Structure 1
Amino acid sequence: MNKAHAAANKRKRILPGFGLTLGVTLVYVSTIVVIPLSMVFIWTASLGAEGIWKVFTDARVLKSLQLTVTTSFAAALINAGFGVLIAWVLARYTFPGKKILDALIDLPFALPTAVAGIALTTLYSPNGWIGQFLHIKVAYTPIGIILALIFIGIPFVIRTVQPVIEGLQQEVGEAAAILGATRRQTFFHMLLPALFPAVMTGFSLAFARALGEYGSVVFIAGNIPFKTEITPLMIMSKLEQYDYHGAAAIACLMLLLSFFILLLIHGIQWYVERKKQVYVR
């Protein structure tokens, strides 16, 4: 009986057995992710402790890293706020041109980042169509970098939060209003806890995407050393000088920092989820 039941379950499987699928998964992930990242650490280790320390403590590298992290965090934070608002509008309201707006959200995914950088620079440069009317300088400043990172990161938040909003029952909010809850209380005590994990996920994706962005930033940044020079540009400069070990060291430093920050964000998300489960119980 047990053998017949096992044979029936085996016939119902769409994919091959666990061993084969796990083997294919490990080979694919190792080839695409693990081995290339391992080479970064191997090339970095070949510099020796003194060489690695010299690269890591270079004032220009540290300044570029500080600029990259702060602008990426600011852009992801802005995207987290406005992304939720846009996702809410797309999920809960019907209006003329909604499908066009919904399609435009995915444009940064398909548009070459260099094209986006050129377009933003043309618009926001001091003599640009929009920049000439602004009282503050946008292009060739950290503000321009944040603007470019907002452009390439906003779809991650919207597409992560939008399905969650669509899955929320509107009756819950209506019931809260009937019981006397204000809109502010409904948002902070009912909607926000339900949306928070998705918002944090979208924030993490936007932040990670911004850290490694090059094409859309390099044009609008102006690449002024110690002012608007981002870390990916430092890596490209090392490669153009045939300093492959130095480029790998900077990439390794950025990789470790990105991993730590993302681990911290996911830790906060896990803690909030755990507290919410304890509260529900």
Structure 2
Amino acid sequence: MNSLFRSRTWSYSFRSIVIIYFIGLIIIPIISIYTQSFSSGLLNFWDNISDPLAWKAVFLTLKLAGIATIINILIGTMIGWVLVRYEFPGKSIINSLIDLPFALPTAVAGFIILLLLGPSSVMFEWFGLSLVFHEPAIVVAMVFVTFPFVIRGLQPLLEELDKSEEEAAYTLGSSKFRTFFQIIMPTMLPGILSGGMLAFSRGLAEFGAVVLIAGNIPGKTLVASVYIFGEIESNNPQGASAVSVLLLTISFIILWFINKLSRGGNTL
């Protein structure tokens, strides 16, 4: 009886710690930012959101994050396929380096891209091309920091794929093209979509890698995260909170779709 009581006490204590930690670390800050954004009324919130610099920054961020996500889906799918299906020298090293953007400080990533694409880079010396302070540089930064999501979402699905289904399709006379899109692609699709949505959501929030190479030109290269930082520096917390809430809501919607996708679409 005492052991059962101790077991229940431990279980309740453990769950209470987890719940308190979750509330303190996530729920309270989220409630605070929503409260801050609406503290001056709905009309003031709308004024902050409809500010030309604000919505241009948000629109630019959505556009560039979308482009980076498409690139990551295409390249990440190919890399994930090669790493699972083929053996070659250096495979383990490449597989380890994929997670480097997760471990690397984003400011360091931005500095690397600045050296790669800036006026003093080899690319500039060879082709006279400098991409910094332009939209392509921001896309490169977003691709770099979100690079692992699609690959890591895809690899487990490919490793669990039953190759006997492919062999059966080939035996029945199916072409490689048809087999890929009718048997392999449906298995890969959840990983591609969830990884792509996570990459998109991460791209929306990127700051460290972007701020060094974007130039932060209002209406041209000023992304939402840098705009938020600028509003805080300008002592306008309501303006920063309004744009933050907009990005936060978009991320919530994306995570909801990922959760629904992971559950097979059976629950909301």
Q: TM-score, normalised by structure 2?
A: 0.89
SS in 2 for 1:221: coil
What are the within-5 Å matches in structure 2 for residues 1-281 of structure 1?
Answer: 16-17=10-11, 19-134=12-127, 138-263=131-256, 269=261, 273=264
3-state SS in 2 of match to 1:143 = helix
Q: 1:15 to 1:192 in 2, by over 3 A?
A: farther
Q: Is the 8 A contact 2:231 2:237 kept in 1?
A: yes
Which ranges of structure 1 fall in alignment gaps of 5 or more residues? 276-281
- How many residue pairs get aligned? The number is 265
Q: What is the distance in 2 between the residues matched to 1:224 and 1:44?
A: 25
- 1:17-50 deviation per Cα after TM superposition (whole angstroms, max 9, x unaligned): 3x44432332111011100111101111212223
Distance 2:129 2:179 in 1: 38
| Aligned-partner Cα distance in 1 for 2:62–2:116 | 25
SS of 1:63's partner is helix
Distance 1:96 1:270, change over 3 A: closer
Deviates more, 1:48-57 or 1:224-233: 48-57
Kept in 1, the 8 Å contact 2:211–2:226? The answer is yes
Structure 1, 186-195 or 235-244: larger mean CA deviation: 235-244
CA contact (8 A) 2:69 2:196 kept: yes
Identity %: 35
CA distance in 2 between counterparts of 1:266 and 1:226 reads 34
1:85-104 Cα offsets, whole Å, 9 max, x none, are 11111112111111111111
The Cα of 1:68 is off from its aligned counterpart by: 0.5
> 2:201 & 2:109 partners in 1: Cα distance?
19
Secondary structure of the residue that 2:213 maps to in structure 1?
helix
Is the Cα–Cα contact under 8 Å of residues 71 and 146 in structure 1 kept in the other structure?
yes
CA contact (8 A) 1:125 1:132 kept: no
More moved, 257-266 vs 70-79: 257-266
- What is the DSSP-based 3-state SS (H/G/I as helix, E as strand, rest coil) of the residue aligned with 1:247? helix
Please state whether the residue corresponding to 1:220 is helix, strand or coil: coil
Could you tell me how far apart the structure 1 residues matched to 2:226 and 2:121 are?
Answer: 24
Task: Give the direction of change, closer, same or farther, for the CA distance of 1:274–1:257 in structure 2 (3 Å limit).
Answer: closer
**In the aligned structure 2, how far is the partner of 1:211 from the partner of 1:92?**
32
Deviations 1:176-212 (A, max 9, x none): 1111111111111000101111111111111111110
8 A Cα contact 1:118 1:219, kept in partner: yes
| Residue-by-residue CA offset, 1:218-249 (whole Å, 9 max, x unaligned) | 11211111000001111111111222222112
- 8 A Cα contact 1:223 1:229, kept in partner: yes
Measured after TM superposition, the shift of residue 169 of structure 1 is: 2.2
Q: Take 2:115 and 2:23, find their aligned partners in 1: how far apart are those partners?
A: 41
Q: Is the 8 A contact 1:124 1:132 kept in 2?
A: no
Distance 1:82 1:246 in 2: 37
RMSD: 2.6
